[in-house]
């Protein structure tokens, strides 16, 4: 966490409140970020369309019975729900099997993760490890549901268990990638994830967004602890 470049205001873990008036007054940054998100996501969707096709074919060959894409309700800015899209990396009845796996959760807090999740398909392990399953979220960015950089959007069931401190994550648009993803990802606890997200929000800038995007590209090429 100490290598976060450009930080000015470190959030005191589990206690401090983000100044919402300061966030709302960052008009230049908000405008520049939206332009960058719109142009970046549009270009990304066009340039990556051949890769989308290849992944779609492989996913279908691996599991012909299921769809290529997976959509799920997530929590966006100010607690509003939206439908997020991903390449499907799990079996078609993954949600139904979740109840039997919930006791095996390896992350404390309002988040579910297990390293050897039996619901993940063969191709799913690869696209999750390389974060390629997240590429359809460029469409969410183009729509304005998400940003290229920001806190990852949580599930409604997770949001219900959030404390008032945790809920500060939704003061900004959720992102395809963020400080948590490039700082340890699944090796970090839920509390550490929240602290990193709030640290990003407190110090957000165009420069820090570019740094996080650059580090994300490195992780796609040399995958980290994603699963």
pLDDT tens track, the chain, 227 positions: 444 444 445 544 566 789 999 999 999 999 999 999 999 999 999 999 999 999 999 999 998 989 999 999 999 999 999 999 999 999 988 888 887 888 787 677 677 778 788 899 999 999 988 889 999 999 999 999 999 999 999 999 999 999 999 999 999 999 999 998 888 766 788 899 999 999 999 999 999 999 999 998 888 777 665 55
Gap between the terminal Cα atoms of the chain: 21
pLDDT at 14: 62
Single out the residue of 110, 106, 61 nearest to residue 88, CA to CA: 61
Task: Please give the pLDDT value at position 1.
Answer: 41
CA distances from 209 to 29, 64, 109, 179, 227 (A): 11, 38, 27, 9, 24
| pLDDT attached to residue 105 | 77
Q: Read off the pTM.
A: 0.85
- pLDDT for 15 equals 64
Per-residue pLDDT at 5? 47
């Amino acid at each position: 966490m100490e290598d976060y470049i450009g930080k000015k205001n470190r959030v005191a873990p589990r206690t401090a409140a983000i100044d919402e008036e300061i966030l709302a007054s960052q008009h230049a940054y908000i405008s520049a970020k939206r332009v960058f998100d719109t142009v970046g996501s549009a270009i990304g969707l066009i340039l990556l369309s051949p890769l989308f096709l290849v992944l779609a074919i492989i996913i279908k060959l691996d599991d012909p019975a299921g769809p290529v894409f997976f959509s799920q309700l997530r929590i966006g800015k100010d607690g509003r729900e939206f439908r997020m899209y991903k390449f499907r990396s799990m079996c078609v009845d993954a949600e139904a099997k979740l109840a039997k796996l919930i006791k095996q959760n390896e992350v404390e807090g309002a988040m579910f993760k297990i390293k050897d999740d039996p619901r993940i398909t063969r191709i799913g392990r690869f696209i999750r490890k390389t974060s390629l399953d997240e590429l359809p979220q460029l469409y969410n960015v183009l729509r304005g549901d998400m940003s290229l950089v920001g806190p990852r959007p949580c599930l409604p069931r997770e949001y219900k268990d959030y404390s008032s401190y945790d809920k500060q994550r939704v003061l900004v648009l959720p992102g395809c990638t963020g400080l948590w993803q490039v700082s340890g990802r699944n090796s970090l606890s839920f509390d550490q994830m929240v602290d990193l997200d709030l640290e990003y929000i407190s110090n957000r800038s165009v420069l820090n967004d570019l740094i996080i995007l650059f580090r994300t590209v490195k992780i796609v090429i040399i995958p980290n602890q994603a699963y």
